[in-house]
């Protein structure tokens, strides 16, 4: 493997060589969500098998993407009932199209105290640190000192709707494995995130009836009816932002509704017969999709009645395109206490963005988010992770592994 290091040679580099080497290796795989991740998965699988570990893969329908799940089993002195701790990360990254990068995005480049490359912080940095710790975990297991199994879960297609993790969780359920805890290594500057919002994305298709714009009474204007529904979505957004059960620990303390795209019409002199728009709902953990979906569906029914009174073939179609559950902190107090000790930071954070953490908590696995790098650098040109963040994550995982060993 190679590192493009513009400031120092590898021989005198003051950084954790193993995890940086692994990060360099991982960045070299172009795992943009529209591409296969199998080359990366095969590389990690071979590494794990060299360590004597059995690897389980779950595939998408096209068989061009895979999740990887591997377990370092507990040793002879294991706790009697213990299904272990999961280190979780996604292998896919967002595209670089249209971005102006200073260096090649799929070649790790060190400049000063930062390592640049697509996925450096989101979230191959954490995966690199987790892979680096595996040989030590295996040694503890072989010597009988690992009292808690350590699992590594690598998923596909997190960036396009968290599509891979549910397959991992379904496989674990079928095998009777319910891990005690999960740590999702999204970039948090190694701070502890204990909850995040859910996200639901909807596409609304308004089917009207075309007519010449001089004969508007003969048509049903799809854009006009779409605008009425959009106005209602905006009104509902205002209402939910003022609820008295909002949560001030979130950076945005209320659930949000936001219209993101709109397309419609053919020409100015034609009453439009189609208008489509999308909106997303980001809910606090104690709220549900039904809190906004029920009133929106009622508004759709009202508008459908108005439209179909003029032309029976018209109407509004509402389709859900994406759904990622919120991550709750209801059952993670014990895990939070452990993380606070290991990081030396007792502060808890809650965030507006969504991760696979909600899918783990929905499966009954207490989960927190903690990983190297800042979410501020994610998805941007010249994405980077600070070398100091990698070092902090290495130390954190060393302490975590020690907490899983016989004392």
- Residue environment code for 346-379, b if the CB has 16+ CB neighbours within 10 A, otherwise e: eebbbbbebbbbbbbbbbebbbbbbbbbbbebbb
What residues contact residue 179 under an 8 Å CB cut-off, 6+ apart?
83, 84, 85, 86, 149, 151, 172, 365
CB 47 within 8 A of CB 131: yes
CB 23 within 8 A of CB 89: no
Residue 384, strand partner residues: 116
Q: What residues are labeled active site?
A: 92, 158
CB 287 within 8 A of CB 255: yes
Strands (E), 131-273: 150-155, 181-184, 192-196, 198-207, 211-212, 256-264, 270-271
State phi, psi for 108 to the nearest 5 degrees.
-60, 130
Q: How many CA atoms lie within 13 A of 337 on its CB side?
A: 3
CB 128 within 8 A of CB 390: yes
């Amino acid at each position: 493997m190679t590192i493009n290091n513009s400031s120092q040679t590898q021989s005198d580099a003051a950084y954790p060589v193993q995890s940086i080497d692994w990060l360099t290796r991982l960045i070299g795989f172009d795992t943009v969500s529209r591409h296969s991740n199998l080359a990366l998965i095969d590389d990690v699988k071979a590494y794990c098998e060299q360590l004597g570990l059995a690897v389980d893969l779950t595939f998408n329908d096209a068989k061009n993407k895979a999740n990887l799940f591997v377990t370092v089993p507990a040793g002879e002195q294991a706790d009697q009932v213990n299904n272990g701790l999961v280190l979780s990360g996604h292998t896919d990254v967002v595209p670089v199209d249209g971005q102006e990068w200073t260096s090649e995005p799929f070649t790790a480049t060190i400049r000063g105290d930062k390592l640049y490359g697509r996925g450096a912080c989101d979230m191959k940095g954490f995966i690199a640190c987790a892979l680096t710790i595996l040989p030590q975990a295996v040694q503890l297991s072989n010597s009988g000192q690992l009292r808690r199994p350590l699992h590594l879960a690598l998923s596909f297609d997190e960036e396009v709707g968290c599509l891979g993790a549910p397959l991992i969780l379904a496989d674990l359920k079928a095998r009777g494995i319910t891990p005690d805890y999960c740590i999702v290594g999204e970039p948090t500057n190694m701070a502890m995130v204990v909850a995040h919002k859910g996200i639901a994305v909807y596409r609304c298709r308004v089917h009207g009836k075309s007519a010449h714009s001089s004969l508007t009474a003969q048509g049903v204007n799809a854009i006009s009816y779409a605008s009425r529904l959009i106005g209602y979505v905006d009104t509902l957004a205002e209402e939910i932002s003022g609820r008295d059960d909002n949560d001030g620990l979130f950076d945005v303390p209320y659930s949000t509704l936001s219209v993101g795209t709109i397309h419609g019409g053919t020409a100015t002199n034609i009453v439009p017969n189609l208008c489509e728009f999308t909106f997303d709902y980001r809910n606090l953990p104690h709220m549900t999709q039904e809190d906004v979906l029920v009133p929106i569906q009622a508004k759709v029914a009202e508008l459908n009645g108005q439209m179909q009174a003029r032309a029976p073939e018209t109407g509004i179609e509402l389709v859900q395109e994406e759904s990622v559950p919120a991550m709750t902190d209801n059952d993670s107090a014990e895990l939070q206490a452990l993380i606070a000790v290991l990081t030396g930071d007792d502060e808890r954070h809650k965030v507006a963005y969504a991760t696979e953490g909600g899918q783990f908590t929905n499966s009954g696995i207490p989960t927190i988010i903690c990983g190297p790098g800042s979410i501020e650098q994610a998805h941007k040109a010249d994405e980077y992770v600070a070398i100091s963040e990698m070092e902090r994550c290495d130390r954190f995982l060393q302490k975590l592994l020690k907490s899983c060993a016989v004392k």
